[in-house]
Amino acid sequence: MKVLVTGASGFIGRALCRHLLRHGWSVRAATRLAPAATAIPAGAEVVHIAAVDGGTDWSEALAGVDAVVHLAARVHVMHESEADPLAAFRSVNADGTNHLAVMAAQAGARRFVYVSSIKVNGEQTTRLPFTEADAPRPSDAYGISKWEAEQALWQTASQTGLEVVVVRPPLVYGPDAPGNFNRLLRFIRQGVPLPLSSIRNQRSFMYVENLCDAVRVCLQHPAAAGRTFLLSDGEDVSTPELIRLLSGSLGRRTRMFPFPPSLLQAAASLLDRKEEATRLLGSLCVNSSAIRQALGWSPPYSMREALRDTAREYLASRSERRAEPVAPPANVHGAGSR
């Protein structure tokens, strides 16, 4: 079986290529980055694309593939320069995704796994976890564009017979995870005292290897076609609990002190960091039982095992990374944190 993985040079894309290769898949990796910058695993066939939008020519990438995993996306941009951010997100995430699906069906691909985002459901939970039955409530341009992509995919599936599977993970973590998770690892390793011990929340997360395993099952299980699955490690923790687990995994003493969450939220608003504050202070829980019941899937790694392995690889890579040049971020790349 040959699978095309888009966004293959991103955090999740690299891990997924390695995972599929280990399980005997023939992998074609699509990327916008030059070969020297991708670090795509050996054994994957690399194809280059200029951009992801409604006019991308995927012919070379799709030739002879049986399935597609679509990771490439326009993700959150810290300093947005677009006059119309929603239009920019739609061009890549909605138009670009559906165009790829149409071309995949025309090229003879059988299955299309779309890695969407829990942001389609919303930003926070209060009393009950999110489920697949909940009405979508995306609140930002990224989440809206992901939801629009899902709707377009279902229409394409009904018109072409393409077997579409949608997965919505929460924040994905692991070695080299971008964003808040990597920043938290760095703070803990450096012994920075964090004003977070007063937070009382619950959040779902997903280890990148657990996500890769779920995607692989969705690629091949007959009962996955036509389904949307919410994913997680199945273990919800508070922000202070996560910090304690990470501290233990890194071999560091937990350094936290109490501080009113309302003041943290106010400070984040002043610094234009509301989204980051929401991830630290708010709750977002996911009920991932549907994929377990429908496909018999369960996460191969517990959260404690995943955090231990993440910390070990993080510590092992620090000395090597100091000497490496840092590539500038692109607005369109493999999916990462959700």
DSSP string, 205-260: EEEHHHHHHHHHHHHH-GGGTT-EEE---S--B-HHHHHHHHHHHHT----B----
Catalytic residue among 142, 207, 301, 314: 142
pTM of the model as a whole: 0.91
| Band of pLDDT at residue 330, cut at 50, 70 and 90 | very low
213: tokens are 């395993």
| C-alpha triplet 86, 328, 50: angle, nearest 5° | 60
Tens digits of residue pLDDT in 225-261: 999 999 999 999 999 999 999 999 999 999 999 999 9
Within a domain: residue 70?
yes
- Asked whether residue 255 is assigned to any structural domain, the reply reads no
For residue 164, pLDDT over 90 is answered with yes
Mean pLDDT value across residues 112-116: 98
Residue 246 lies in a domain: no
142 is catalytic: yes
What is the per-residue DSSP string for 47-66? EE-S--STT---HHHHTT-S
Domain count, the chain: 1
Average pLDDT of the chain is 91
51 inside domain: yes
- Give the residue numbers spanning the domain of 230: 2-175+205-234+285-301+325-333
**CA nearest neighbour of 317 among 154, 186, 219:** 186
Q: Using H for helix, E for strand and C for coil, what is the string for 145-178?
A: HHHHHHHHHHHHHHHHCCEEEEEECCEEECCCCC
What's the pLDDT at 270? 87
CATH number for the domain that contains residue 133? 3.40.50.720
Is residue 123 assigned to a domain? yes
Which residues does residue 171 pair with via DSSP β-bridges, in sequence order?
205
On whether residue 154 sits in a domain, the answer given is: yes
The verdict on residue 10 lying in a domain is yes
Tens of pLDDT, residues 56-109: 999 999 999 999 999 999 986 655 566 788 999 999 999 999 999 999 999 999
Region of 159 (left: φ > 0; alpha: ψ -120 to 50; beta: rest) is: alpha
Encoded tokens for 62: 């799709």
Domain membership of residue 29 (yes or no) is yes
Q: What are phi and psi of 282, to 5 degrees?
A: -85, 170
